[in-house]
């Protein structure tokens, strides 16, 4: 008859392979996944962001221009 395993059997087999963390024979050793290092290595000093004064002024100007365009767009829509 039908020798194909059911979806539930395939799911259970795949789940047991994942949970057992055994190397899969169909993957090359370079393709097998290793657990990721979740915690980053400790550093002596925290990362310091340096932003220049000119960069800050440019960002504020860009924000103001964006707000002005949004207001003009809203006024144009409401006037129709």
Residue (of 70, 66, 48) closest to 58 by Cα position? 66
pLDDT of residue 65: 98
Top pLDDT among 78 and 19 is at 78
Residue 61 has pLDDT above 80, yes or no: yes
Cα–Cα distance measured from residue 49 to residue 66, given in angstroms and rounded to the nearest whole number: 25
User: Three-state secondary structure along 6-73?
Assistant: CHHHHHHHHHHHHHHCCCCCCCCCCCCCCCCCCCCCCCCCCCCCCCCHHHHHHHHHHHHHHHHHHHHH
Does residue 51 have a pLDDT over 60? yes
pLDDT tens digits, one per residue of 1-40:
567 878 888 888 888 888 887 555 665 655 556 666 667 6
Q: For the chain, what are the domain ranges?
A: 52-80
* pTM: predicted TM-score of the whole model, two decimal places: 0.38
């Amino acid at each position: 008859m039908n020798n194909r395993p059911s979806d539930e059997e395939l799911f259970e087999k795949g789940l047991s392979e994942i949970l057992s963390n055994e190397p899969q024979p169909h993957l090359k050793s370079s393709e097998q996944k290793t657990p990721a290092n979740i915690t980053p290595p400790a550093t002596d000093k925290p990362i310091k962001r340096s932003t220049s004064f000119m960069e800050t002024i440019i960002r504020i100007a860009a924000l103001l221009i964006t707000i002005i365009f949004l207001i003009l767009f809203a006024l144009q829509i409401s006037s129709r």
